[in-house]
Amino acid sequence: MILIKSKKEIDLIAESCSIVARTLDLVRKNVKPGISTKELDLIAEDYILSMNAKAAFKGYSQGDSNPFPAALCTSVNNEVVHGIPGKRKLETGDIISIDVGVEKNGYFGDAAITCAVGDIPVEVKKLMEVTEKSLYLGIEQAVRGNRVQDISYAVQSYVEANGFSVVRELTGHGVGIKLHEDPSIPNFGNRGRGAKLKDGMTIAIEPMVNLGKYDVTVGYDGWTILTKDGLPSAHFEHTILINNKNPEILTVL
């Protein structure tokens, strides 16, 4: 069931989204060679708690999965999403995708960025740029009267025109009253298909784009999703409010 939010609910979702944006900005500023992914996680959680909010991912589980143990998902190089923070230290040439969810007063926000650690190869820099651009092209389609796969098509067509591939097993989603709501928002599809977008919907659009093929696999920890071919992947995400013909990005500073 797709949830349409009231003005009061949107304001509360926006508050959580604002904390998400500030958390990502803080973590981004601390991405550097030698820092561990666990240290980044602690920076994020300390800030979230200081805002009288909760890290929405920590303790989250799906089905029979073990609860996710951290505030951030930190996915390095060929890790697509859901990487678990730990002792691994970032090195020059790495890229790291940082995904964070926040719950405050029972309402949720969700966003992600990919950061370069020092100098990175030209093709990986292009991967990041194309992934981020595809997110904004998708957002442009998030208007009343369009359908979900208008977003999907915008993402896929731009990514594939630039020689990369969109991950197909993972999607964007509704967000706000729950961390994950209907509708599912794939990053591939055909224009004019899927649920109709209506004012008051809040959705997370999140292209996950691979340098090589789109195939992925699950890591030994049961959470981390990796590219099957071992090539890098990038991930960008915003929480969006459908608001007439002007999609509003809630997870910005």
- Rounded-to-integer distance, Cα 131 and Cα 134, Å: 5
Contact 97/75 with Cβ under 8 angstroms?
A: yes
Question: Which residues in 54-77 are b (16+ Cβ under 10 Å) and which e?
Answer: bbbbbeeeeeeeeebebbbbbbbb
Give me the sign of the Cα torsion angle 115, 231, 160, 216.
Answer: negative
CB count in 10 Å sphere of residue 155:
30
Q: How far is CA 168 from CA 30, 72, 155, 215, 237, in A?
A: 31, 22, 12, 8, 16
Distance, CA of 140 to chain centre: 17
196 confidence band (pLDDT: 50, 70, 90):
very high
Q: For 63-77, 143-157, 184-198, 213-227, which range has the lowest pLDDT when averaged over its residues?
A: 63-77
Count, in order, helices (H) and strands (E) of the chain: 4, 15
Q: For 1-15, 23-37, 59-73, 182-196, which range has the lowest pLDDT when averaged over its residues?
A: 59-73
Would you give the DSSP letter of residue 197? P
Dihedral angle over CA of 9, 252, 139, 60, nearest 10: -60
Report the Cα–Cα distance between both ends of the chain, in Å, rounded: 30
65 confidence band (pLDDT: 50, 70, 90):
confident
Q: Which CATH class is domain 7-249?
A: alpha beta
- E strand or H helix at 39: helix 37-50
- The answer, yes or no, to whether the previous bond of 232 is cis (omega within 30 of 0) is no
64 confidence band (pLDDT: 50, 70, 90):
confident
245 confidence band (pLDDT: 50, 70, 90):
confident
What does pTM read for this prediction? Answer: 0.97
